[in-house]
C-alpha cells in the first residue's frame, strides 16, 4: 500500500529558531516508527535551512516550502525561486487560499508556479477550494483545471492536490468526510490515478479519523494543529492505524 501524505503547514505560527528546532525534532522523532505515512513539514522560509537539517535525519519526514516565485532568478526582492527552494525542499505548497486572498494570487499565477516547480523537480501541492459551504464543487474543479494547463500528462503523477474548502480554514468548522470523498472523486477526473489528493481545513485530532476512513482521501494538509508536535504526531498515528492493512 502506498504511504499517505500528512503535510504540516506551519504558516507563520513558529516565530523563533529555537521553537522551529524543537518542533521539527519532536515531529521527526515522533513519526519515525509510524507506518503507512510520510510526514511533510513546511516551515516558514526563514527556518527552512534549520528544519531541513533536522528532517533529513528521519526516514519518515520530508521538507516542503510554503511558497515560491515562478521566476527562476532576477530582480525580485523578497521572492524565492524554485531553484533555491529545490536546494532544501522536496515539496512546495502552491495556491493556498491565504495566498490567493491576501497576496492576490490568480489561477494564472498558480499555473505558472506549478510549471516552474515541476521543471526543477519540486512536487507541487496544489490547493483548491470553494468559498461557500453550500456551493457546488465547480470552483475547486475549475481551479485545478487552470492549475494544470500545459502540464504534461506524464507529470500528473508527480503532483499533489489539496482540497481545502475556504470556509473551513481557521474556523474550526471542518468539512464532512463523506462530502470530501465525493469532491476528491470528482477532482480525480483531472489527474493521474497515483496522484495524492489530500483534505485540509480545520483538521484536528478529534476529526482526523473521519477522513482516514475514506480511502478516496490520500492524506491531510494540516494548518494550526501542525504547529503543535503532540497533535500532529497523534494525527499521523490515527491515520496510520486506520489505514493499516492488517
Active site residues: 96, 164
Cβ neighbours of residue 243 under 8 Å, at least 6 residues apart?
Answer: 1, 4, 36, 37, 212
d(CA 237, CA 138): 33
The C-alpha cell that represents 38 in the structure block: 510520510
Residue 138 burial (C-beta neighbours within 10 Å; 0-12, 13-18, 19+): exposed
Determine contact, residues 52/43, Cβ cutoff 8 Å. no
d(CA 218, CA 162): 9
Residue 117: helix, strand or coil by DSSP? Answer: helix
Amino acid at each position: 500500500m502506498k504511504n499517505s501524505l500528512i503535510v504540516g503547514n506551519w504558516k507563520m505560527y513558529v516565530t523563533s529558531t529555537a521553537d522551529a528546532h524543537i518542533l521539527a525534532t519532536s515531529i521527526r522523532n515522533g513519526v519515525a516508527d509510524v507506518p503507512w505515512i510520510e510526514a511533510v513539514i513546511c516551515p516558514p522560509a526563514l527556518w527552512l535551512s534549520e528544519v531541513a537539517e533536522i528532517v533529513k535525519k528521519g526516514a519518515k519526514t520530508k521538507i516542503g516550502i510554503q511558497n515560491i516565485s515562478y521566476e527562476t532568478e532576477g530582480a525580485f526582492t523578497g521572492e524565492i525561486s524554485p531553484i533555491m527552494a529545490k536546494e532544501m525542499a522536496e515539496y512546495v505548497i502552491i495556491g493556498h487560499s491565504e495566498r490567493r486572498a491576501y497576496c492576490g494570487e490568480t489561477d494564472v499565477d498558480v499555473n505558472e508556479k506549478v510549471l516552474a516547480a515541476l521543471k526543477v523537480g519540486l512536487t507541487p501541492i496544489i490547493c483548491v477550494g470553494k468559498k461557500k459551504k453550500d456551493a457546488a464543487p465547480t470552483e475547486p474543479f475549475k481551479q485545478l483545471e487552470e492549475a494544470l494547463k500545459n502540464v504534461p500528462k506524464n507529470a500528473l503523477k508527480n503532483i499533489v492536490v489539496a482540497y481545502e474548502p475556504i470556509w473551513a480554514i481557521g474556523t474550526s468548522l471542518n468539512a464532512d468526510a463523506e462530502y470530501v470523498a465525493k469532491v476528491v472523486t470528482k477532482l480525480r477526473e483531472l489527474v493521474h490515478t497515483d496522484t495524492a489528493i489530500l483534505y485540509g481545513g480545520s483538521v484536528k485530532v478529534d476529526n482526523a479519523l473521519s477522513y482516514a476512513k475514506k480511502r478516496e482521501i490520500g492524506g491531510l494538509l494540516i494548518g494550526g494543529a501542525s504547529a503543535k508536535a503532540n497533535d500532529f504526531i497523534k494525527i499521523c498515528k490515527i491515520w496510520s492505524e486506520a489505514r493499516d492493512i492488517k
